[in-house]
Amino acid sequence: MASTTATASTARIAPSKALVRRSEGQWSIVFRRFRRHRLAMISLALLALIFVASLAAPILAPFPRDAVGLAPRFSPPLTIHEGKLHVLGTDHVGRDFFTRLLYAARITLTVSFFVATLATLIGMTLGALAGYFRGIVDGIVMRILEFMASIPEFPVLLIITSILVTDPKLLPIPRFVLDFMGTLMLLSPVGNERAQVVVLIAVLTVFGWTGAARLMRGMVMSVRERDFIEAARSLGASNAFIILRHVVPNAFPPLVVTYTLSLAGALTSETALSFLGVGITDPTPTWGNMLQFATNFMLTNSWVPLIPGIPVVLCSLAFNFVGDGLRDALDPRLKM
Protein backbone atom coordinates (compact mmCIF):
# COMPACT_ATOMS: atom_id res chain seq x y z
CA MET A 1 0.00 0.00 0.00
CA ALA A 2 2.89 2.29 0.85
CA SER A 3 4.59 1.63 -2.50
CA THR A 4 1.35 2.41 -4.32
CA THR A 5 1.10 5.74 -2.47
CA ALA A 6 4.74 6.61 -3.30
CA THR A 7 4.17 5.83 -6.98
CA ALA A 8 1.10 8.03 -7.09
CA SER A 9 3.00 10.85 -5.37
CA THR A 10 5.84 10.58 -7.91
CA ALA A 11 3.33 10.62 -10.74
CA ARG A 12 1.85 13.85 -9.37
CA ILE A 13 5.29 15.52 -8.97
CA ALA A 14 6.68 14.54 -12.38
CA PRO A 15 4.11 16.46 -14.47
CA SER A 16 4.66 19.59 -12.36
CA LYS A 17 8.40 19.49 -13.15
CA ALA A 18 7.62 19.01 -16.80
CA LEU A 19 5.30 22.01 -16.72
CA VAL A 20 8.02 24.13 -15.10
CA ARG A 21 10.44 22.97 -17.81
CA ARG A 22 8.02 23.80 -20.60
CA SER A 23 7.30 27.23 -19.14
CA GLU A 24 10.97 28.22 -19.42
CA GLY A 25 11.36 31.00 -21.98
CA GLN A 26 13.45 30.76 -25.13
CA TRP A 27 16.09 33.24 -23.98
CA SER A 28 16.26 31.53 -20.57
CA ILE A 29 17.09 28.29 -22.34
CA VAL A 30 19.73 30.05 -24.45
CA PHE A 31 21.31 31.62 -21.37
CA ARG A 32 21.32 28.29 -19.52
CA ARG A 33 23.01 26.58 -22.47
CA PHE A 34 25.48 29.47 -22.86
CA ARG A 35 26.52 29.23 -19.19
CA ARG A 36 27.65 25.65 -19.77
CA HIS A 37 30.24 26.83 -22.29
CA ARG A 38 33.11 27.53 -19.88
CA LEU A 39 35.44 29.24 -22.34
CA ALA A 40 32.63 31.54 -23.45
CA MET A 41 31.81 32.51 -19.87
CA ILE A 42 35.47 33.13 -19.03
CA SER A 43 35.84 35.20 -22.21
CA LEU A 44 32.72 37.21 -21.41
CA ALA A 45 34.02 37.94 -17.92
CA LEU A 46 37.40 39.01 -19.35
CA LEU A 47 35.78 41.33 -21.89
CA ALA A 48 33.58 42.84 -19.19
CA LEU A 49 36.63 43.42 -16.97
CA ILE A 50 38.59 45.13 -19.77
CA PHE A 51 35.57 47.19 -20.83
CA VAL A 52 34.84 48.41 -17.28
CA ALA A 53 38.52 49.23 -16.75
CA SER A 54 38.54 51.25 -20.00
CA LEU A 55 35.45 53.18 -18.90
CA ALA A 56 37.09 53.93 -15.58
CA ALA A 57 40.35 55.03 -17.22
CA PRO A 58 40.23 58.60 -15.81
CA ILE A 59 39.89 57.09 -12.31
CA LEU A 60 42.29 54.14 -12.60
CA ALA A 61 45.00 55.86 -14.66
CA PRO A 62 47.77 57.13 -12.36
CA PHE A 63 48.95 59.80 -14.84
CA PRO A 64 47.43 62.09 -17.49
CA ARG A 65 47.07 60.42 -20.88
CA ASP A 66 49.77 62.33 -22.77
CA ALA A 67 51.93 63.39 -19.84
CA VAL A 68 55.64 63.02 -20.64
CA GLY A 69 57.31 62.11 -17.37
CA LEU A 70 60.88 62.47 -16.23
CA ALA A 71 61.28 58.71 -15.89
CA PRO A 72 63.83 57.08 -18.23
CA ARG A 73 62.61 55.75 -21.55
CA PHE A 74 61.39 52.14 -21.50
CA SER A 75 61.51 51.80 -17.76
CA PRO A 76 60.64 48.18 -16.87
CA PRO A 77 57.36 47.32 -15.13
CA LEU A 78 56.97 48.23 -11.44
CA THR A 79 59.48 51.05 -11.75
CA ILE A 80 59.23 53.71 -9.03
CA HIS A 81 60.40 57.15 -10.10
CA GLU A 82 60.17 60.16 -7.80
CA GLY A 83 57.73 58.30 -5.57
CA LYS A 84 55.36 57.36 -8.41
CA LEU A 85 54.83 53.78 -9.52
CA HIS A 86 54.84 52.91 -13.23
CA VAL A 87 52.94 49.61 -13.17
CA LEU A 88 53.86 48.59 -16.74
CA GLY A 89 56.85 50.87 -17.16
CA THR A 90 57.19 53.75 -19.62
CA ASP A 91 57.27 54.09 -23.40
CA HIS A 92 59.78 55.65 -25.80
CA VAL A 93 59.17 59.21 -24.53
CA GLY A 94 58.63 58.43 -20.85
CA ARG A 95 54.82 58.19 -20.83
CA ASP A 96 53.22 55.72 -18.47
CA PHE A 97 52.34 52.49 -20.29
CA PHE A 98 49.49 51.51 -17.97
CA THR A 99 47.77 54.87 -18.45
CA ARG A 100 48.14 54.71 -22.22
CA LEU A 101 46.89 51.12 -22.27
CA LEU A 102 43.67 52.01 -20.43
CA TYR A 103 42.86 54.94 -22.71
CA ALA A 104 43.81 52.86 -25.77
CA ALA A 105 41.41 50.10 -24.65
CA ARG A 106 38.59 52.64 -24.44
CA ILE A 107 39.25 53.91 -27.98
CA THR A 108 39.94 50.56 -29.65
CA LEU A 109 36.97 48.74 -28.10
CA THR A 110 34.60 51.64 -28.80
CA VAL A 111 35.68 51.78 -32.43
CA SER A 112 35.18 48.01 -32.72
CA PHE A 113 31.73 48.24 -31.15
CA PHE A 114 30.54 51.03 -33.45
CA VAL A 115 31.96 49.39 -36.58
CA ALA A 116 30.41 46.00 -35.81
CA THR A 117 27.06 47.51 -34.79
CA LEU A 118 26.70 49.83 -37.78
CA ALA A 119 27.91 47.22 -40.26
CA THR A 120 25.50 44.60 -38.87
CA LEU A 121 22.54 47.00 -38.93
CA ILE A 122 23.26 48.06 -42.52
CA GLY A 123 23.80 44.49 -43.68
CA MET A 124 20.70 43.26 -41.83
CA THR A 125 18.52 45.98 -43.39
CA LEU A 126 19.74 45.54 -46.96
CA GLY A 127 19.75 41.76 -46.72
CA ALA A 128 16.20 41.69 -45.34
CA LEU A 129 14.92 43.99 -48.10
CA ALA A 130 16.69 42.01 -50.82
CA GLY A 131 15.52 38.63 -49.56
CA TYR A 132 11.92 39.67 -48.95
CA PHE A 133 11.09 41.80 -51.98
CA ARG A 134 13.38 40.01 -54.48
CA GLY A 135 13.20 41.42 -58.02
CA ILE A 136 14.80 44.81 -58.60
CA VAL A 137 15.71 45.36 -54.95
CA ASP A 138 17.48 42.00 -54.76
CA GLY A 139 19.26 42.68 -58.06
CA ILE A 140 20.61 46.05 -56.89
CA VAL A 141 21.81 44.71 -53.55
CA MET A 142 23.44 41.68 -55.15
CA ARG A 143 25.26 43.80 -57.73
CA ILE A 144 26.63 45.96 -54.91
CA LEU A 145 27.73 42.84 -53.03
CA GLU A 146 29.41 41.45 -56.12
CA PHE A 147 31.21 44.75 -56.69
CA MET A 148 32.42 44.83 -53.08
CA ALA A 149 33.62 41.24 -53.37
CA SER A 150 35.52 41.93 -56.60
CA ILE A 151 37.81 44.63 -55.20
CA PRO A 152 40.89 43.84 -53.07
CA GLU A 153 39.54 45.00 -49.74
CA PHE A 154 42.67 45.55 -47.66
CA PRO A 155 44.75 47.52 -50.22
CA VAL A 156 41.77 49.75 -51.04
CA LEU A 157 41.09 50.13 -47.32
CA LEU A 158 44.69 51.23 -46.80
CA ILE A 159 44.51 53.81 -49.60
CA ILE A 160 41.15 55.30 -48.60
CA THR A 161 42.00 55.38 -44.91
CA SER A 162 45.41 56.99 -45.48
CA ILE A 163 43.82 59.73 -47.61
CA LEU A 164 40.87 60.49 -45.35
CA VAL A 165 42.72 60.20 -42.04
CA THR A 166 45.50 62.48 -43.29
CA ASP A 167 42.94 65.11 -44.30
CA PRO A 168 39.62 64.47 -42.47
CA LYS A 169 38.12 67.60 -44.03
CA LEU A 170 37.58 65.59 -47.24
CA LEU A 171 34.73 63.80 -45.43
CA PRO A 172 32.20 66.30 -44.01
CA ILE A 173 31.34 65.21 -40.48
CA PRO A 174 28.55 66.87 -38.43
CA ARG A 175 29.77 68.70 -35.38
CA PHE A 176 27.51 66.82 -32.97
CA VAL A 177 29.03 63.51 -34.12
CA LEU A 178 32.54 64.78 -33.38
CA ASP A 179 31.46 66.08 -29.98
CA PHE A 180 29.71 62.80 -29.11
CA MET A 181 32.71 60.67 -30.09
CA GLY A 182 35.09 63.01 -28.32
CA THR A 183 33.12 62.79 -25.08
CA LEU A 184 32.72 59.02 -25.33
CA MET A 185 36.39 58.28 -26.03
CA LEU A 186 37.88 61.19 -24.06
CA LEU A 187 39.43 62.69 -27.19
CA SER A 188 40.96 66.13 -27.31
CA PRO A 189 38.99 68.80 -29.22
CA VAL A 190 42.32 70.21 -30.45
CA GLY A 191 43.63 68.85 -33.74
CA ASN A 192 42.18 66.00 -35.79
CA GLU A 193 41.79 63.36 -33.08
CA ARG A 194 38.01 63.19 -33.23
CA ALA A 195 37.83 63.39 -37.02
CA GLN A 196 40.38 60.57 -37.41
CA VAL A 197 38.32 58.24 -35.23
CA VAL A 198 35.04 59.02 -37.03
CA VAL A 199 36.67 58.59 -40.46
CA LEU A 200 38.12 55.22 -39.46
CA ILE A 201 34.72 54.03 -38.18
CA ALA A 202 33.03 55.14 -41.41
CA VAL A 203 35.59 53.44 -43.68
CA LEU A 204 35.57 50.13 -41.76
CA THR A 205 31.75 50.15 -41.73
CA VAL A 206 31.58 50.62 -45.51
CA PHE A 207 33.70 47.51 -46.02
CA GLY A 208 32.21 45.46 -43.19
CA TRP A 209 28.48 45.06 -43.89
CA THR A 210 28.59 42.54 -46.76
CA GLY A 211 28.80 39.38 -44.65
CA ALA A 212 25.75 40.28 -42.57
CA ALA A 213 23.82 41.21 -45.73
CA ARG A 214 24.50 37.84 -47.39
CA LEU A 215 23.54 35.93 -44.25
CA MET A 216 20.35 37.95 -43.72
CA ARG A 217 19.31 37.60 -47.36
CA GLY A 218 19.66 33.83 -47.24
CA MET A 219 17.76 33.55 -43.96
CA VAL A 220 14.92 35.78 -45.19
CA MET A 221 14.60 33.82 -48.43
CA SER A 222 14.19 30.62 -46.43
CA VAL A 223 11.59 32.16 -44.10
CA ARG A 224 9.46 34.25 -46.47
CA GLU A 225 7.71 31.26 -48.06
CA ARG A 226 6.61 29.60 -44.83
CA ASP A 227 2.98 29.18 -43.89
CA PHE A 228 2.93 31.73 -41.06
CA ILE A 229 4.18 34.42 -43.46
CA GLU A 230 1.40 33.58 -45.92
CA ALA A 231 -1.10 33.65 -43.06
CA ALA A 232 0.10 37.10 -42.01
CA ARG A 233 -0.25 38.35 -45.59
CA SER A 234 -3.76 36.94 -45.86
CA LEU A 235 -4.73 38.76 -42.66
CA GLY A 236 -3.67 42.05 -44.24
CA ALA A 237 -0.37 42.59 -42.45
CA SER A 238 1.90 45.14 -44.10
CA ASN A 239 5.32 44.26 -45.47
CA ALA A 240 7.05 46.31 -42.79
CA PHE A 241 5.12 44.50 -40.04
CA ILE A 242 5.91 41.07 -41.51
CA ILE A 243 9.62 41.88 -41.86
CA LEU A 244 10.00 43.33 -38.36
CA ARG A 245 7.63 41.00 -36.51
CA HIS A 246 8.16 37.66 -38.26
CA VAL A 247 11.10 37.61 -40.66
CA VAL A 248 13.84 39.38 -38.67
CA PRO A 249 13.23 37.51 -35.35
CA ASN A 250 13.52 34.15 -37.15
CA ALA A 251 16.81 35.22 -38.75
CA PHE A 252 18.13 36.91 -35.60
CA PRO A 253 20.07 34.05 -33.89
CA PRO A 254 22.67 33.63 -36.68
CA LEU A 255 23.10 37.41 -36.78
CA VAL A 256 23.97 37.47 -33.07
CA VAL A 257 26.84 35.05 -33.71
CA THR A 258 27.94 37.04 -36.76
CA TYR A 259 27.90 40.23 -34.71
CA THR A 260 30.23 38.83 -32.04
CA LEU A 261 32.63 37.57 -34.69
CA SER A 262 32.53 40.93 -36.49
CA LEU A 263 33.64 42.56 -33.24
CA ALA A 264 36.85 40.54 -33.45
CA GLY A 265 37.22 41.46 -37.13
CA ALA A 266 36.75 45.17 -36.43
CA LEU A 267 39.25 44.99 -33.58
CA THR A 268 41.95 43.40 -35.72
CA SER A 269 41.23 45.76 -38.65
CA GLU A 270 41.57 48.86 -36.48
CA THR A 271 44.73 47.47 -34.89
CA ALA A 272 46.24 46.61 -38.29
CA LEU A 273 45.52 50.01 -39.82
CA SER A 274 46.87 51.89 -36.79
CA PHE A 275 49.89 49.59 -36.72
CA LEU A 276 50.61 50.43 -40.36
CA GLY A 277 50.32 54.14 -39.63
CA VAL A 278 47.19 54.84 -41.70
CA GLY A 279 44.66 54.60 -38.89
CA ILE A 280 44.50 56.52 -35.63
CA THR A 281 47.89 58.10 -35.04
CA ASP A 282 49.87 59.22 -32.01
CA PRO A 283 49.31 60.96 -29.59
CA THR A 284 45.84 59.37 -29.62
CA PRO A 285 46.51 55.97 -28.02
CA THR A 286 45.23 52.76 -29.55
CA TRP A 287 46.57 49.26 -29.19
CA GLY A 288 47.61 49.37 -32.84
CA ASN A 289 49.80 52.48 -32.75
CA MET A 290 51.21 51.46 -29.37
CA LEU A 291 52.26 48.21 -30.99
CA GLN A 292 53.77 50.11 -33.91
CA PHE A 293 56.07 52.13 -31.65
CA ALA A 294 56.86 49.05 -29.56
CA THR A 295 58.10 47.05 -32.55
CA ASN A 296 60.56 49.79 -33.43
CA PHE A 297 62.42 49.09 -30.20
CA MET A 298 61.73 45.38 -29.73
CA LEU A 299 65.33 44.32 -30.42
CA THR A 300 66.60 46.21 -27.39
CA ASN A 301 63.44 45.98 -25.25
CA SER A 302 61.79 42.67 -26.12
CA TRP A 303 59.09 42.99 -23.44
CA VAL A 304 57.59 46.21 -24.85
CA PRO A 305 55.44 44.70 -27.69
CA LEU A 306 53.80 42.36 -25.18
CA ILE A 307 52.06 45.25 -23.39
CA PRO A 308 49.71 46.20 -26.26
CA GLY A 309 49.98 42.82 -28.00
CA ILE A 310 48.57 40.65 -25.21
CA PRO A 311 45.27 42.62 -24.89
CA VAL A 312 44.75 42.44 -28.66
CA VAL A 313 45.18 38.66 -28.68
CA LEU A 314 43.07 38.13 -25.56
CA CYS A 315 40.17 40.26 -26.80
CA SER A 316 40.22 38.68 -30.27
CA LEU A 317 40.15 35.19 -28.77
CA ALA A 318 37.47 36.21 -26.28
CA PHE A 319 35.16 37.54 -28.99
CA ASN A 320 35.56 34.32 -30.94
CA PHE A 321 34.90 32.13 -27.90
CA VAL A 322 31.78 34.14 -27.05
CA GLY A 323 30.64 33.65 -30.66
CA ASP A 324 31.21 29.90 -30.37
CA GLY A 325 29.25 29.81 -27.13
CA LEU A 326 26.34 31.71 -28.65
CA ARG A 327 26.35 29.49 -31.72
CA ASP A 328 26.10 26.37 -29.56
CA ALA A 329 23.45 27.92 -27.31
CA LEU A 330 21.29 29.05 -30.22
CA ASP A 331 21.55 25.81 -32.18
CA PRO A 332 18.41 23.75 -31.42
CA ARG A 333 20.05 20.59 -32.78
CA LEU A 334 22.57 20.49 -29.93
CA LYS A 335 21.57 19.10 -26.54
CA MET A 336 23.50 20.82 -23.78
The structure's pTM equals 0.85
Q: What is the pLDDT of residues 64-117, one digit of tens each?
A: 888 887 777 788 888 887 778 888 988 888 888 999 999 999 999 999 999 999
**Mean pLDDT along residues 244-253:** 79
Residue 150 CB contacts under 8 Å (≥ 6 apart), including other chains? none
- The predicted pLDDT at position 327 comes to 84
The sign one gets for the Cα dihedral 85, 86, 92, 97 is: negative
| Cβ atoms of 291 and 275 closer than 8 Å | yes
Q: What confidence tens digit (pLDDT) does each residue in 24-37 have?
A: 666 787 788 888 88
How confident is the model over 240-265, as a mean pLDDT? 84
Q: What is the pLDDT of residue 77?
A: 86
| Predicted local confidence at residue 99, as pLDDT | 92
What is d(CA 105, CA 285) in angstroms, rounded to the nearest whole number?
8
**For residue 10, is pLDDT > 50?**
no
CATH architecture, domain defined by 27-330: Orthogonal Bundle (1.10)
Q: What is the pLDDT of residue 319?
A: 94
pLDDT reading at 15 higher than 70: no
Q: What angle do CA 14, 17, 23 make, to 5 degrees?
A: 140
- Domain boundaries of the chain, sorted by first residue: 27-330
pLDDT tens for 154-173 read: 888 888 888 887 777 788 88
pLDDT, mean of residues 10-30: 57
**End-to-end Cα separation, the chain, in angstroms:** 39
Instruction: Please name every residue paired with 85 in a beta bridge, in sequence order, or none if there are none.
Output: 80
- Give CA torsion, residues 282, 284, 289, 291, to 10 deg: 110
Contacts of 168 (CB under 8 A, 6+ apart): 192, 195, 196, 198, 199
